[in-house]
Amino acid sequence: MTTRKATSPPGKSGGAQAEAARPQLLAHPRTATGTRAARRLRRAGFVPGVLYGKAVKTMPVQVSRHDLVKFLHARAGEHGLATLRIEQGASGGSGGKSLEKPVLIKAVEHDPVLGDIRHVDFQTIVLTEQIRVKVPLLLQGEPVGVKQDGGVLEHFLREIEVECLPTQIPNQIEHDIAALKIGDALHVRDVAAPPGARITTDPESVVASVLAPKEEKVEEAAAAVTEPEVIREKKPEAEEAAEGKAPVKEEQKESAKEDKKEKA
């Protein structure tokens, strides 16, 4: 079970040559399904999967983990186009009939702890029909706002959806961001579509932006200054008298004396 490229005889058309250059993955039907069967396959070095799509009946399949990993690394992504050749004979053999279908790897499930591939989905496609796939977006260069002014690059969108023929799916889209200054933002509308493809992601989506450097704020614990409460003590009557402020009681006594004199 190997991943290989077929060779084309002289005189073939461009489409046939493109098909010949397409890598092949060898698979076999899965006769046993379920959790236990899948575990046995993984221990034996295979990855359980499923084939579905147009003009094909959904079929459980199995592929070599080594071949699948090699293919994914070569394509730099999980949406590579391949020819899936399904051998109808026993697993590991080459006897019996074979079925070949152009497919896209639509989903790859990984173990959350070990990272090993646990399952793979293959979708059959028609090579003459446009399809939509997401491809990686690679930002090149260091923004001038980061290099010279100490800004911070924020990268939000790492994949862009494109519409194209299956034979024209780009491995990745590259864009130079060296001219970005502080406050600048790169939108999807600024990214050039690769030849033969049309970008279908929202053009107003922000891919990346350069933010101003974060200033370290030194928080000083400012002690609240409060005026002490002034408590005024009551002055003795003698002091008030000396200051010309006779107490109310003394004034009342003097007034009473004067009233008695007038009555007498």
The predicted pLDDT at position 11 comes to: 40
Confidence of residue 231 (pLDDT cuts 50, 70, 90): low
Of 148, 141, 143, 137, give the one whose Cα is nearest residue 210.
Answer: 143
Strands 46-53 and 117-124, by their bridges, are parallel
Length reported for the chain: 264
Q: Are residues 108 and 31 in the same domain?
A: yes
Radius of gyration of the chain (CA): 42
Q: Are residues 27 and 118 in the same domain?
A: yes
- Which range among 59-63, 104-108, 120-124, 195-199 shows the weakest confidence by mean pLDDT? 104-108
Cβ partners under 8 Å of residue 135, min gap 6: 77, 79, 159, 160, 161, 162, 169, 170, 171, 172, 173
Q: Is residue 248 part of a domain?
A: no
Q: Are residues 107 and 134 in the same domain?
A: no
Q: Which of 95, 126, 157 is the last residue of a domain?
A: 126
Q: Are residues 107 and 163 in the same domain?
A: no
The predicted pLDDT at position 262 comes to: 56
Q: Is residue 108 part of a domain?
A: yes
The predicted pLDDT at position 28 comes to: 95
Q: Are residues 111 and 162 in the same domain?
A: no
Q: How many domains does the chain have?
A: 2
DSSP 14: H
Residue 74's domain comprises: 1-126
Q: Is residue 104 part of a domain?
A: yes
pLDDT at 12 over 70: no
pLDDT at 190 over 50: yes
53-106 confidence digits (pLDDT tens): 987 899 999 999 999 999 888 764 556 788 999 987 654 444 567 889 999 988
CATH code where residue 135 lies: 2.170.120.20
Q: Are residues 149 and 95 in the same domain?
A: no
Q: Are residues 113 and 134 in the same domain?
A: no
Q: Are residues 143 and 112 in the same domain?
A: no
Q: Is residue 259 part of a domain?
A: no
- Which range among 22-26, 38-42, 108-112, 188-192 shows the weakest confidence by mean pLDDT? 22-26
pLDDT at 263 over 70: no
Distance CA 22, CA 138 (A): 24
Q: Is residue 212 part of a domain?
A: yes
